[in-house]
Structure 1
Amino acid sequence: MWRNYLTVGVRALGKNKTYALINILGLAIGMAACLILLLFVRYELTYDEALPGSENAYQFQTYYTDPDTGEEGNLQMAAYATKQALLKDFPQIDQIVYAQWSGPVVIKDGEAFDVEDFKFVDGPLFEILQFPFVQGNPGTALAQPGSIVLTESEAEKRFGNENPMGQTLTVVAQGVNTDYRVTGIIQDPPKNSHVKLTMAARYDPATYWADNPDFLTSFGWQSGHVYVKLKPGTDPQAINSQLQAWEKRNIPDQFFGGQRFNQGDQADFGLVNIRDVHLGEAQDGAMTPGNDRRSIITFAIVALLILGMACVNFTNLATARASQRAREVALRKVLGANRKQLIVQFIGESVLVAAFAMLLALAMTELALPVISNFLEADLALNYFGEGGLILPILALVLVVGAAGGIYPAFYLSRFQPAQVLKANKSSAEAQGTGRLRNVLVVSQFAVSIGLIICTAVVYLQTVHARTADPGYNREGLIQIAGIGRRQLEPVVEPLMREIGKIDGVVGTGRTTIGIATGNSSNTGVQLPGRDQPINIGQYYIDDGFFETMGIDLLAGRTFDENRPADSSERPFPEDPAAEQAFAARGANVVVNELAAKRMGFASSQQAVGKTLKAALVDPEYGGMVPVTIIGVVEDSRFRSVREPIDSIMFFYAPNFVNELLVRYDSDNPAAVRDRIEGVWKRMAPEVPFDAKFSEEIIGELYEAEDARATIFAGFAVLAVIVACLGLFGLAAFTAERRTKEIGIRKVMGARSRDIVRLLAWQFSKPVIIANLIAWPVAWWVMRDWLNTFDARIDLGLTPFVLAAIIALAIAIGTIAGHALKVARANPIHALRYE
């Protein structure tokens, strides 16, 4: 019996090759798209799940909310001071380690190089983050200060074929050279890990921060990550519920100018399992670009929609083709077949189509995955067997898709009555309501397609806007060089700046602590008259060439002048008590941006100039609140992503505190200018690696992950449209064939070819018009919420909606135009010869 069903199914497909090709190709595209998207969704949802002990490993995060603006800053980072406070109050903690962000210079065999993703740690990090060790012992590798662990790729990069174990690397940090012995090699963290790491060195924080001991006790200074290993069976929510009381016990009050200030007033804390970090609310200070669950859910929905559209195609074509199989069903019933057997037969045929489609889909997936993985910088893999193997889900998908696509046609075809079909040599039958069903399904398909086209257009326009929106400075013609604040450069920094300024093509230089998308964030409290609590304003240091180099416009007052001592906020480092007290007594001149002036309560930029306020710039023991006089107001500038609000900023003139160098160039050969700068740098500071990027590179990297996801989304939106077109093409072919005699009669009665084409075009245009009415409000609602996640966003106008409607209508008409013309031009004699 089953062999007979298989034979009949194959013959049925072979009898109508167009029907078979459309069905199998449509289902294959739908299945391949679904598989790829679901592999991506699984990849995003399984960050750090493969890490042993991940169920007990947590990251301690900090969440800020500005009481004045409501702006949130959710950090994956936490202050060093939280570590001892947590250990003291929560015996459920088994281990806790602080991992500090750092960008030191590493020297090997006399050659200096920068190391990305270097971490200083104060404990056995790899007993919490249990990355597999290739060499060494995870329990002892970071047991003592002076030990360092490398990843496999970094060890190969630095040591080649030489055994790195026991070798020495010199790390230059805080102006001090320290030797570290290699005590372990770990496997590279997988790409679906929130941890980005190349070297981890065990250090002594007290020694490292001897010149700045406030770092060890301040709860407001985040420069690293706190990782916690809880004892088995511990409920992390029980700890999280106690953290508000923990804050009050451990974060001390401070007094600036007689006003109470507590760093915990605007902060909350929480333990987050490392498996939830990637998709968590806290994405500031992340080692790797995160994602959000809403985006992942969106991709999953798109995958299921594309697959659903492919199933709709099958149902549509099966019901349309049913008229050709009416006599076959009737004869089978006359010969003794019951309805159950017919249902099994037709569902079996549907599963057979799904099986053929799945084989093609798997081939498509295997070919597309490497390209998509490389594009997304992800390790997407299609494994059939073993852990994470998909053979059972694939088989289940074939059965589900086959049943979903074939169940309605099976029940519909099997209910034909032999007498009605065979009476008067009747060769076709159309059950009541099937035409309406097909129209509903076509409307649904095009509603999905139009919605995806709208979303793709909005995402594209917002992406372009993010890259091209005016940032408040002249973005073109800039080179940003990191590391200008390294202590090794102190003796040569001024001569180096002068030499760079003399280079042909260089027209300006400026130094800062903020720069373009550096991730640096610093703020301080500013006391306003009539307020008990200070407001938070960004605090960044610059030199006198910064504003001109960046092209930031002055709105009122003046900028800094190196010849005016009152403009300078420079003090010795490490802190000198006498200098700090003198600074607190004399005060400082500052330049603020327009947003800061507004937050300080000034109605205009001009009104702010000359006003004096107090800011928390020095330790309370040296005076705390320092008088600051506003000498100028500059235009607001966006130094970070368009997702983040523009900073309200106070700029201080302190060239000895800066760490980024901006170089403005005017040349037709930017690469040559960069090379000349590098030549000067290496000649004057050979022990400090040269790390320079064009502003275009930085902006590209800033939006790289987001652009990649948007491109993938657009690609799958196109696939959805292709699937819809395949279904419409097949449906148009069968509709045109079924109406051949009607069209022949119309032509005999005088209808012209264009009238026939218009008739068929209108039949398939109506569902598209209705689909627009469904898709527009849904797409508007989804895109409005998505755009609200950006601080700088496009207006959600009519253009994407009208464009999607025109595209969908053009696609629909273009798809059926060939059939319409063919039928309209046919000789009516051939259609009516049997009448």
Structure 2
Amino acid sequence: MWRNYLTVGVRSLMKNRAYALINILGLAIGMAACLMILLFVRYELSYDKWLPNSDNIYQLQTYYHDKQTGEDMNLQMSAFAAGQALKKDYPQVERMVYVSAGGFTVLRNGEAIAVDNGSMVSGPFFDIFQFPLVKGDPRTALKDVGSVALSETQAEKLFGSEDPIGKTLTLMLRGKPVDHRVTAVFKDLPKNSHMAFNMIARYDPATYWAEQPDFLTQWGWQSGWWYAALKPGSDPKVIQADEAAWEKRNIPDETFGDRKYNQGDDSDYRLVNIRDVHLGKAQNGAATPGNDRRTIVTFGVIALLILGMAVVNFTNLSTARASQRAREVALRKVLGAARKQLIVQFIGESIIVASIAMVMALALIELLVPAFARFLDADLDLHYFGHDGILLPVMALVLLVGALGGLYPAFYLSRFQPATVLKANRSAAETPGSGRLRNVLVVAQFAVSIGLIICTAIVYTQTVYARTTDPGYKREGLLQLTGASRRQVVPLSDTIVAEIARVPGVKSVGRSSIGIDTKNSSNTGISIPGHAEAVTIGTYAVDSKFFDTMGIRLVAGRSFDLGRPMDDATLPFPDDEAVERAFVARGANVVINELAAKRLGFRNPADAVGKQVKGGGFGTPDEMGLVPINIIGVVQDSRFRSIREPLEPIMFRMANNNRDAVLVRYSSATPDKVRQNVEQVWKRIVADAPFDGKFSEDIIQKLYKAEDSRAKTFAGFAILAVIVGCLGLFGLATFTAERRTKEIGIRKVMGARSRDIVRLLVWQFTRPVIIANLIAWPVAWYVMRDWLNTFDDRIPLGPTPFVAAGALALLIAVGTIASHAIRVASANPIRALRYE
């Protein structure tokens, strides 16, 4: 019996090769797209699951809520004091380690080598994170202050083929060379990790921060990540439930002018399992770019939609072609076949088609996955066996698709009444309602296709808008150097700027503690007379040439002037109490941006000029009182960070310290030559600090790289969905044209013109497309409105993408069936009617 079923199924496919090709090709594309998306989704969900004991390791995160604006800033970082208080209060915490943010400068043979993704840790790091070590003992590695562990790649860069264990590395820490002994080499971390380490050094926080002891006690200073390993069987929800009381016990009240405030009033702390960090709520202050669950769910839905469209094609073509097998079904029933046997036969044929399609799909995946992984910069591995093998899911998918695609045709075919079919001597039969079902499925297909086209257009337009919208400064012709706040660079900063200004092609040079996507964030409270609450404003140091160099336009008032002592807000480091008290007494002049003026209550920027407020942010202790702040100018708003983040109200002060970014404005037609000359100047003056210079266009491109990759991936799979839909429409159009050959012949004999026939056939398939638009538009509008709201600055959600997608879908449908319509309408009616 089974052999007979297989033989009949293969013969049926061979008899209708075009139908079989369309069915198999559509299913193969749908399955390949579905599996590739699911590989990506599985990869995104696998972050840090490879780490032993990952289910028991947690990151302490800080969530801020601005009561004035309603804005949230969720940080993966937390204050050093927060981790210490957590360990002190909860016996469930077995171990904790603090991991500092930043990188390292290594001195080797008189050369400064920058090491990205380098961190200092406060304790035995490998007691919590059981990284696979290539060399060294995890029990003793990083046990002592002054020890360092390297990744395999970094060890090879620094030591070549030599054994690095026991060797000495000189690290520049706070401007001083400090020797460290290499005690371990660990395997390069996989890409599916929220952590990124090339070098890990053990340090003593108390000694390192001796000049700035406030770092160890202030709850508002985040510059690293706390990780906790809980004791087996401990429930983090118990700790979380006590969070409010824990904050009250540990976070001290502070004085801001004549007001008291508490850092815990605007912040919450969460223990988040490391497997949930990558897709978690907190994405600010991350060591590596994260993702959000909404994106992953979206891709998962797209995978199911594409697969669903392929199954719909299968069902449509199967029901359409199945009517041609009426006599076969009738004869089988006359010879004693039960309905159950017929259902099994046709579902079996469906599974055969699904199996052939899956083989083609796997071939496509083998070819495309390497390029797909490189494009997404992800470790997408295709394995058939093992815990991450896809063999069982593939087999399940074949059975599922085969059953879904063949279930309705099987029940539909088995309904034919043999007496009716054989009495009429018909080889074809149509079950009532099957045509309506096909129309409903075609509408659903095109609703999905149109919706995906609309979403793709909006996502792509928003991505382009993010890269090209006016940021409030001139992006072109700008070179940014970072690392100017290093201790060994600061004393030579003026010399560096003066020498860079002499480089041919350089127009101006400015310095700032905020640059293009420099990640750092600093804010303070501004006290306004008559307001109960202080206004939170970002505060950053700049020099007198910063605004001109960046191309930031002055809206009202004046800019900083080196000839006016009140403009200079520089304070000595280390702290000098006498100088600080004098500074608090005299106050300082500042420039603010337009948003800061609005937040401070001024209706127009000009109204803010000449006004005085009080606040901090200058580095003076709070107990000395608030600093009188005179607003001397207002500049236009500038967006230094991602378009997803809220625009920041900023207060600029002119100071010579804490300026990490050097901005170089050039007018040369050969920017690479300018960069090369600037690098030579840097290395000549500060040989012990690595040069890090990037063009602003490259920084922006990297900033939106993940957004751009997701948009292109989304577009690629949307195109595949449209292709799958077109294949189904093409098959149905072919079938319909064949079935209506005699009808068309009669119409032509009765006087119908070819264009009338073409219009009749085209309208039959364009009507479902029009209905699909009415379904897709509101759904796409709702989804895209929600997505665009995740951006602080976004494109308007106008009618253009909706109308364009509808027109494109209509054009695709007409183009798909037009060739059949024209061919049938142009045929000689005698051929269709010769036997009638």
User: Normalising to structure 1: TM-score of the pair?
Assistant: 0.99
Residue 705 of structure 2 corresponds to 704
Whether 2:389 is the aligned partner of 1:383: answer no
Please report the RMSD computed on the Cα atoms of aligned residues, expressed in angstroms.
1.0
For 2:524 and 2:167, locate their aligned partners in 1 and report how far apart those are by CA, in whole Å: 43
For 2:513 and 2:261, locate their aligned partners in 1 and report how far apart those are by CA, in whole Å: 25
Whether 2:81 is the aligned partner of 1:81: answer yes
User: What's the CA shift for 1:315?
Assistant: 0.5
For 1:62 and 1:125, locate their aligned partners in 2 and report how far apart those are by CA, in whole Å: 22
Residues 371-423 of structure 1 deviation map (CA, whole Å, 9 limit, x = unaligned): 11001010111111012111111101000000000000001001111111111
Residue 403 of structure 1 corresponds to 403
Residue 807 of structure 1 corresponds to 808
State the SS of the aligned residue for 2:440.
Answer: helix
Q: Is the Cα contact below 8 Å between 2:552 and 2:635 reproduced in 1?
A: yes
For 2:623 and 2:579, locate their aligned partners in 1 and report how far apart those are by CA, in whole Å: 9
Residue 627 of structure 1 corresponds to 628
Aligned runs of 1:22-33 on 2, under 5 Å? 22-33=22-33
Whether 2:10 is the aligned partner of 1:10: answer yes
User: What's the CA shift for 1:619?
Assistant: 4.4
Residue 313 of structure 2 corresponds to 313
User: What's the CA shift for 1:547?
Assistant: 0.2
User: What's the CA shift for 1:323?
Assistant: 2.1
Residue 348 of structure 1 corresponds to 348
Residues 631-652 of structure 1 deviation map (CA, whole Å, 9 limit, x = unaligned): 1010010000010111100001
Whether 2:796 is the aligned partner of 1:756: answer no
- Identical-pair percentage: 65
Q: Is the Cα contact below 8 Å between 1:510 and 1:543 reproduced in 2?
A: yes
Q: Is the Cα contact below 8 Å between 2:526 and 2:535 reproduced in 1?
A: yes
Residues 482-502 of structure 1 deviation map (CA, whole Å, 9 limit, x = unaligned): 112222123432122111111
User: What's the CA shift for 1:709?
Assistant: 1.0
Whether 2:291 is the aligned partner of 1:268: answer no
Q: Is the Cα contact below 8 Å between 1:346 and 1:409 reproduced in 2?
A: yes
Residue 819 of structure 1 corresponds to 820
Aligned runs of 1:109-508 on 2, under 5 Å? 109-508=109-508
Q: Is the Cα contact below 8 Å between 1:257 and 1:623 reproduced in 2?
A: no
Q: Is the Cα contact below 8 Å between 1:192 and 1:378 reproduced in 2?
A: yes
Aligned runs of 1:731-746 on 2, under 5 Å? 731-746=732-747
Residues 492-518 of structure 1 deviation map (CA, whole Å, 9 limit, x = unaligned): 321221111111111111100110011
For 1:510 and 1:310, locate their aligned partners in 2 and report how far apart those are by CA, in whole Å: 58
User: What's the CA shift for 1:256?
Assistant: 2.8
For 2:692 and 2:614, locate their aligned partners in 1 and report how far apart those are by CA, in whole Å: 37
Residue 664 of structure 1 corresponds to 665
Q: Is the Cα contact below 8 Å between 1:580 and 1:622 reproduced in 2?
A: no
Kindly provide the amino acid, as one letter, of the partner of residue 599 in structure 2. Answer: R
State the SS of the aligned residue for 1:632.
Answer: strand
For 2:257 and 2:24, locate their aligned partners in 1 and report how far apart those are by CA, in whole Å: 77
After the TM superposition, which of the residue ranges 429-438 and 258-267 deviates more from structure 2? 258-267
For 2:799 and 2:450, locate their aligned partners in 1 and report how far apart those are by CA, in whole Å: 14
Aligned runs of 1:649-660 on 2, under 5 Å? 649-660=650-661
User: What's the CA shift for 1:620?
Assistant: 4.0
For 2:595 and 2:34, locate their aligned partners in 1 and report how far apart those are by CA, in whole Å: 46
Residue 530 of structure 1 corresponds to 530
Kindly provide the amino acid, as one letter, of the partner of residue 315 in structure 1. Answer: T
Q: Is the Cα contact below 8 Å between 1:145 and 1:203 reproduced in 2?
A: yes
For 1:654 and 1:619, locate their aligned partners in 2 and report how far apart those are by CA, in whole Å: 13
For 1:93 and 1:439, locate their aligned partners in 2 and report how far apart those are by CA, in whole Å: 61
Residue 787 of structure 1 corresponds to 788
Kindly provide the amino acid, as one letter, of the partner of residue 142 in structure 1. Answer: L
Q: Is the Cα contact below 8 Å between 2:54 and 2:274 reproduced in 1?
A: yes
For 1:447 and 1:84, locate their aligned partners in 2 and report how far apart those are by CA, in whole Å: 55
After the TM superposition, which of the residue ranges 484-493 and 407-416 deviates more from structure 2? 484-493
Q: Is the Cα contact below 8 Å between 1:540 and 1:651 reproduced in 2?
A: yes
For 1:323 and 1:488, locate their aligned partners in 2 and report how far apart those are by CA, in whole Å: 84
Question: What runs of 5+ residues in structure 1 fail to find an aligned partner?
Answer: none
Residue 20 of structure 2 corresponds to 20
State the SS of the aligned residue for 2:657.
Answer: helix
User: What's the CA shift for 1:795?
Assistant: 0.4
Residue 44 of structure 2 corresponds to 44
For 1:491 and 1:537, locate their aligned partners in 2 and report how far apart those are by CA, in whole Å: 29
State the SS of the aligned residue for 1:281.
Answer: coil
For 1:491 and 1:575, locate their aligned partners in 2 and report how far apart those are by CA, in whole Å: 16
* Count of residue correspondences: 835
State the SS of the aligned residue for 1:306.
Answer: helix
For 2:573 and 2:190, locate their aligned partners in 1 and report how far apart those are by CA, in whole Å: 40
For 1:457 and 1:256, locate their aligned partners in 2 and report how far apart those are by CA, in whole Å: 49
Q: Is the Cα contact below 8 Å between 1:256 and 1:624 reproduced in 2?
A: yes
Residues 741-767 of structure 1 deviation map (CA, whole Å, 9 limit, x = unaligned): 000001111111111111100000000
For 2:192 and 2:87, locate their aligned partners in 1 and report how far apart those are by CA, in whole Å: 30
User: What's the CA shift for 1:238?
Assistant: 0.8
For 1:621 and 1:781, locate their aligned partners in 2 and report how far apart those are by CA, in whole Å: 48
Residue 768 of structure 2 corresponds to 767
Residues 96-117 of structure 1 deviation map (CA, whole Å, 9 limit, x = unaligned): 0100012331112332111111
Q: Is the Cα contact below 8 Å between 2:762 and 2:821 reproduced in 1?
A: yes
Runs of 4+ in 1 over 3 A off after TM superposition: 617-622
State the SS of the aligned residue for 1:677.
Answer: helix
User: What's the CA shift for 1:616?
Assistant: 2.0
User: What's the CA shift for 1:184?
Assistant: 0.7
Kindly provide the amino acid, as one letter, of the partner of residue 831 in structure 2. Answer: H
Q: Is the Cα contact below 8 Å between 2:256 and 2:622 reproduced in 1?
A: no
Residue 572 of structure 1 corresponds to 572
Residue 642 of structure 1 corresponds to 643
Residue 682 of structure 1 corresponds to 683
Whether 2:588 is the aligned partner of 1:588: answer yes
Q: Is the Cα contact below 8 Å between 1:256 and 1:623 reproduced in 2?
A: no
Kindly provide the amino acid, as one letter, of the partner of residue 498 in structure 1. Answer: A
For 1:552 and 1:211, locate their aligned partners in 2 and report how far apart those are by CA, in whole Å: 35
State the SS of the aligned residue for 2:309.
Answer: helix
Residue 601 of structure 1 corresponds to 601
User: What's the CA shift for 1:151?
Assistant: 1.0
User: What's the CA shift for 1:531?
Assistant: 2.7
For 1:167 and 1:107, locate their aligned partners in 2 and report how far apart those are by CA, in whole Å: 13
User: What's the CA shift for 1:621?
Assistant: 6.1
Q: Is the Cα contact below 8 Å between 2:60 and 2:83 reproduced in 1?
A: no
State the SS of the aligned residue for 2:44.
Answer: helix
User: What's the CA shift for 1:204?
Assistant: 0.9
For 1:700 and 1:631, locate their aligned partners in 2 and report how far apart those are by CA, in whole Å: 35
For 1:752 and 1:256, locate their aligned partners in 2 and report how far apart those are by CA, in whole Å: 87
Q: Is the Cα contact below 8 Å between 1:254 and 1:620 reproduced in 2?
A: no
After the TM superposition, which of the residue ranges 504-513 and 447-456 deviates more from structure 2? 504-513
Kindly provide the amino acid, as one letter, of the partner of residue 135 in structure 2. Answer: Q
User: What's the CA shift for 1:666?
Assistant: 0.7
User: Normalising to structure 2: TM-score of the pair?
Assistant: 0.99
Q: Is the Cα contact below 8 Å between 2:506 and 2:664 reproduced in 1?
A: yes
Residues 746-791 of structure 1 deviation map (CA, whole Å, 9 limit, x = unaligned): 1111111111111100000000000000000000000000000000
User: What's the CA shift for 1:622?
Assistant: 5.3
User: What's the CA shift for 1:586?
Assistant: 1.2
User: What's the CA shift for 1:834?
Assistant: 1.1
Residue 694 of structure 1 corresponds to 695
Residues 499-556 of structure 1 deviation map (CA, whole Å, 9 limit, x = unaligned): 1111111111110011001111000111111233322110100000100000111111
Kindly provide the amino acid, as one letter, of the partner of residue 266 in structure 1. Answer: D
For 1:101 and 1:154, locate their aligned partners in 2 and report how far apart those are by CA, in whole Å: 18
User: What's the CA shift for 1:7?
Assistant: 1.1
Question: What runs of 5+ residues in structure 2 fail to find an aligned partner?
Answer: none
Residue 779 of structure 2 corresponds to 778
For 1:620 and 1:246, locate their aligned partners in 2 and report how far apart those are by CA, in whole Å: 26
Residues 65 and 105 of structure 1, relative CA distance in 2, 3 Å threshold: same
